[in-house]
Structure formats: C-alpha cells, structure tokens
Chains A and B, each alone.
Chain A
C-alpha cells in the first residue's frame, strides 16, 4: 500500500550545525504534510506544516521543503541545539472532508552532540 517513509532512521549532528531530515511519500493525492517532534515519554509536538500548493515554508529555525515531482519532503533545522534532540516524524494527509486522517512515517532519531 502507499505509505510515508524516512530515508535515515538516525542522524547525529554537532551543536550549531544545520540538520536535514528527509521523508519520502508515495501518495500523489496527499494534500497536506506535517512535521512533528517527539521527545522521550511525550506526545508528538507540532513543528511546521505545508500544503501541497506550496514548495517551501519557513518557521523559527525550521524550514520545510516539498518536492512534489519526486514526492519528497524535508525538514531543515538551523543552528541545531541539544534541545532539538528527539524523534522527528513526517505525516501526510490524504484527501479531505470530515474523514481526513494523518498517516505517519517511521521517524528519524536526531541526536545533537554538544
């Protein structure tokens, strides 16, 4: 079936470096994507989202890029800090209406070394 997946299960970076977390999706009907951050023992926390009619969106220290041609999504974190250490999930929404739901990828563990 169609699914969302991540290229890298783990990513280790030095404090202050930029981080890039990648996500591949296979459903061309997906119209909305979200990145979530999940710290150990906590629920996922919204980071940033992007609709399929956009190719880039920026937040505070984060940027999401969407390439619909190759069905690829990435999360860029600038000046990575130890507090950014967590598992990052991308999620896609297929379709709309009242029955819309998010499908989550497997997650990437980001470790920031001081």
Chain B
C-alpha cells in the first residue's frame, strides 16, 4: 500500500539553528499539506500546495518558516532559526487533488518529532 514518506522521524536541535524536514507524497497526489501538531492537540495546517504552487500559507510563520515543492512532487519544510516553541510533531499529508469530488481524503505520513533545546 502506498504511503507518505517523511524524514527524519526524529530531530533534536538547539534553538537558533536551522532544521529541515522532507516529505514524499503518495505517487499521483497533486495536493500536499504540512501540519504542526502540538502534544495533546489536533494537527494545524501550516501550508498547502497544489502541484508546485502554494494555495494556502496563511498560518505559516513566514519570518522563520519556509516551504517548497519545486517539481510538484516531494516537499521540504524549513525552520530558521528554530525556537523552543517550535517543538512539535510536523506532519505531511497528501490527497489526490483538492476540489474534486474524490479528493478530500488526506493520507498522513508518520511525522517528524522535533525537539528544540
């Protein structure tokens, strides 16, 4: 069964350092999402891509976070500089294509657990 891949699974970094997460969506999925999940809470959307274009980054802290999906396939989320409050699980999800009748289901990857010290 096809899965969303994420790496690394765990990352420990010191505050003020740069950190990057990678996501490879399910093949053929045009829509890709990055979420942040704080322990005990539901995932919160950071950014949504349709192919290589950003369609929603309203909740992305753009002073320190950036995301790209240059070829419309895999994606990278970067934090620079990392702050203590960034400690969380970062989840990537993909779906066929948002806006079509069969597109709504999002498939999640295993996530990257970030700890900022």
> Do A and B assemble together?
yes
Q: Does A45 contact B (CB under 8 A)?
A: yes
Chain A neighbourhood of B33, CB < 8 A: 101
Residue pairs across A and B with CB atoms within 8 Å: the count is 61
Chain B neighbourhood of A96, CB < 8 A: 99
Contact A93 B104, CB 8 Å, known A98-B98, A107-B42: yes
Contact A99 B110, CB 8 Å, known A105-B42, A106-B41: no
Q: Does A110 contact B (CB under 8 A)?
A: no
Chain A neighbourhood of B109, CB < 8 A: 43
Across the two chains, which residue of chain B brings its CB closest to A89? Answer: B42
CA A103 – CA B98 in complex, angstroms?
15
Chain B neighbourhood of A44, CB < 8 A: 43, 91, 108
Stretch at the interface among B13-21, B48-56, B64-72, B80-88: B48-56
Does B55 contact A99, Cβ atoms closer than 8 Å? Answer: yes
Chain A neighbourhood of B42, CB < 8 A: 4, 89, 91, 104-107
| Nearest CB on A from B19, distance (A) | 19
Across the two chains, which residue of chain B brings its CB closest to A91? Answer: B42
Chain A neighbourhood of B44, CB < 8 A: 104
CA A102 – CA B42 in complex, angstroms?
11
| Nearest CB on B from A75, distance (A) | 15
| Nearest CB on B from A40, distance (A) | 11
Q: Which of A4, A41, A97 contacts B99 (CB 8 A)?
A: A97
| Residues 1-18 of B at the A interface (beta carbon under 8 Å) | 4
Does B105 contact A34, Cβ atoms closer than 8 Å? Answer: yes
| Nearest CB on A from B15, distance (A) | 24
| Nearest CB on A from B12, distance (A) | 15
Does B104 contact A101, Cβ atoms closer than 8 Å? Answer: no
Q: Does A42 contact B (CB under 8 A)?
A: yes
Chain B residues engaging chain A, CB cutoff 8 angstroms: 4, 33, 40-45, 48, 50, 55-56, 91, 93, 98-99, 104-111, 113
